[in-house]
Chains A and B, each alone.
Chain A
Amino acid sequence: ETGVTQTPRHLVMGMTNKKSLKCEQHLGHNAMYWYKQSAKKPLELMFVYNFKEQTENNSVPSRFSPECPNSSHLFLHLHTLQPEDSALYLCASSQPQGALYEQYFGPGTRLTVT
């Protein structure tokens, strides 16, 4: 238990569906992240939020839409995804910029796009 929870753990969706991934951290951190992990690729940083403000968008397609209503919650809204978007989506949190960015990850959501 790392203090970061993600739901759902598994998700299967069609290309025309709309779904959302949820992340919650109980560590008092102020930075939150979304990563994508595909087979044979390094972890890919998608989005970074510091104090609820998006500070990095790593050229992510608009079919992925993040939302950070407060420092403890992070969402990733999905719509019209492609099969190549199937991957493990990981949420992480840390203390914000200026610290060592020691990240604490959730268990991930395994997404399959059919």
Chain B
Amino acid sequence: TQLLEQSPQFLSIQEGENLTVYCNSSSVFSSLQWYRQEPGEGPVLLVTVVTGGEVKKLKRLTFQFGDARKDSSLHITAAQPGDTGLYLCRAGTALIFGKGTTLSVSS
């Protein structure tokens, strides 16, 4: 069974701080996706990474796919309260999600 381990499980920071969350597995994936879920809503797709070593930027969010395609990271620069939510990673075609990182950004 493929497993996706996300860390940290919880993160509480002040507005303006930087942070990185991780998604790791022992399996190789053809692609990996990151989603953000706000309270009371469904997950929303942020990005898909498909190439080992790939880096994608979405405003203040930077996503990286590991060279071996077994892990990924999400870095947020100058976090804002609007970044609050549950960040989930999902292995491409396997339809498996990690447990997520719950991020709370206070002003």
A interface residues with partner B (beta carbon < 8 Å) = 2, 4, 6, 33, 40-43, 45, 48, 90-92, 97, 100-108
Contact = CB atoms under 8 A, between A and B. Distances in A.
B48 A105 contact: no
Closest 9 CB pairs of A and B: A105-B42, A43-B97, A42-B99, A42-B97, A105-B43, A90-B42, A107-B41, A108-B42, A107-B42
Contacts of B42: 2, 4, 6, 90-92, 105-108
A108 B95 CA distance: 18
Contacts of A107: 40-42
Interface residues of B, number: 22
Interface of B: 4, 31, 33, 35, 40-45, 48, 50, 88, 90, 92-93, 95-100
A97 B94 CA distance: 11
A100 B98 CA distance: 17
Given A42-B100, A43-B88, 15 more contacts: A41-B99, A42-B97, A42-B98, A45-B96, A48-B95, A97-B93, A100-B48, A101-B95, A102-B33, A103-B90, A104-B45, A105-B35, A106-B42, A107-B41, A108-B42
Contacts of A6: 42
Contacts, number: 52
A77 to B, nearest CB: 20
Nearest to B30: A100
A102 B95 contact: no
Nearest to A9: B40
A83 to B, nearest CB: 21
22 contacts: A2-B44, A42-B4, A42-B100, A43-B43, A45-B95, A91-B42, A92-B42, A100-B48, A100-B50, A100-B93, A101-B95, A102-B48, A103-B43, A103-B45, A103-B90, A104-B45, A105-B35, A105-B43, A105-B44, A107-B40, A108-B40, A108-B42
B35 to A, nearest CB: 8
A41 B98 CA distance: 9
